[in-house]
Structure 1
Amino acid sequence: MQMQEVKTRGPYAKGVAKREEVRQIALETFARRGYRGATLREIADEAGLTVAGVLHYFDSKEELFTEVLRLRDAAAVEITGPSPRDAAETLIRVVRHNATVPGLVHLYMALAVEGAVEGHPAQDYFQEHFASLSDWIEGEIRELQSDGRIKLQVQPEMLASIFMAAIDGLQLQWLHDPSIDMAERLSCLWNELILSPEQT
């Protein structure tokens, strides 16, 4: 009985490991080659698979691309730390880092639009992504409001939504004009919402 269990687990574990390897290769390929330059063929070659072999581990290329975004988010922990407290400043650091990987920014923005279509593999990812970010930013805004440090007496969820829109809007502008300093502009927006120490 135990031997049969090991036999069952072996191929499954290898499949999970290979799927993760493909996902990591796809992330690196997008970062290196860009959204237009990265192809399933190149990802497959890097993984020692055929394109059909890649799609054995993912239902579609859209699912693979969505998984790349999930992996990108997990990698952001290396930038932010496991439990960042300052939501705004942390997100500004992430946006600054994003400027070094335009291919992943392009992928994110492309799937953000496509994922709005009902049934798209990225739909759940973006709903979770936006809800998580919103809760995090709202929490910080509530704390700042209770300390009297927010200039605008607006509902936290509204301010969080505006700040998130600024992040994605700046990334879209930056794809069209890489001379834009996204982090600087985002920092300017946030700091304009917060009272100076002399005013508190």
Structure 2
Amino acid sequence: MPDTPPRGYASGRRRRDQVVSAAFAAFGTVGYRQTSMSQIAADCGVSRAGLAHHFPTKESLLEAVLDERDRRHSLRFFEGAPGPGRDGLDHFARLVALTRANATTPGIVSLYAALSAEATDPTHPAHSYFARRYKNSREHLALAVDDLRSRGLLRDSAVDSFRLAEEIIAIMDGLQIQWLYSPRTVDMAGRLRDRLSEIIRVELPPASPASSTAL
């Protein structure tokens, strides 16, 4: 039988999760730079010292928020998925659904776009996060492309999997920036779907029902 976490540990974990959720909401609506640690502490009903116990710096809280963003996306869009290496079509469809959902959180999209550029500096607190995330994204997309190739579903069967993965990521990131400037005219999900449809020989399927359910 697994050990039961100490009561204080469980309480501390819940409070930490509350702080991350509050920061996620604040960063997504107000923006990272406009949100103060004091505001987040007030939103959670904790003291500034209590907040510092879990997150001594705003940068450490930022990293936790980025990880939480990925966790929520994973649960909402990829839980129960066959995986990119087993069903590339399904993976592409889920990416489109994820991109459509991003349009409902402009603050988080803006934060991500700004930080992904700033974090190219190896000393930036989010550098390791973005380096790891881009690496994983390239690998997953390359697996999806390889699966499509093995099933004869690529229009260009000789395409390099990793180069195409880099292109798809560039399209997604570029669309996000353009959307931030013109949210009423740039359809991120639609344009991504159009480009993916140019890559494959069959119609891209709709996302699974689970991926359209909000958390």
Q: Could you tell me which of 51, 62, 67 is aligned with 1:65? A: 62
Q: CA deviation at 1:67?
A: 1.1
Contact 1:66 1:111 in 2 (8 A): no
Tell me whether 1:184 sits opposite 2:181 in the alignment.
no
Instruction: Select the structure with the greater relative contact order (CA < 8 A; seq sep ≥ 6).
Output: 2
* Corresponding position of 2:170: 165
Tell me whether 1:98 sits opposite 2:102 in the alignment.
yes
Structure 1 residues 16 and 196: alpha-carbon distance in aligned structure 2, compared to 1, 3 A threshold: closer
Q: Could you tell me which of 77, 83, 93 is aligned with 2:80? A: 83
Structure 1 residues 91 and 196: alpha-carbon distance in aligned structure 2, compared to 1, 3 A threshold: closer
Matches within 5 A, 1:147-158: 147-152=151-156, 153-158=158-163
* Corresponding position of 1:193: 199
Distance in 2 between residues matched to 1:111 and 1:58, nearest whole Å: 19
Identity of aligned residues (%): 34
The alignment's C-alpha RMSD in Å is 2.3
Q: CA deviation at 1:96?
A: 0.2
Structure 1 residue runs of 5 or longer lacking an equivalent are 1-5
* Corresponding position of 1:21: 18
Q: If the length of structure 2 is used for normalisation, what is the TM-score?
A: 0.80
* Corresponding position of 2:136: 132
* Corresponding position of 1:116: 120
Q: CA deviation at 1:31?
A: 3.0
Q: CA deviation at 1:35?
A: 4.2
Tell me whether 1:55 sits opposite 2:52 in the alignment.
yes
Structure 2 residue runs of 5 or longer lacking an equivalent are 83-89, 204-215
Matched residue count:
192
Contact 2:73 2:98 in 1 (8 A): yes
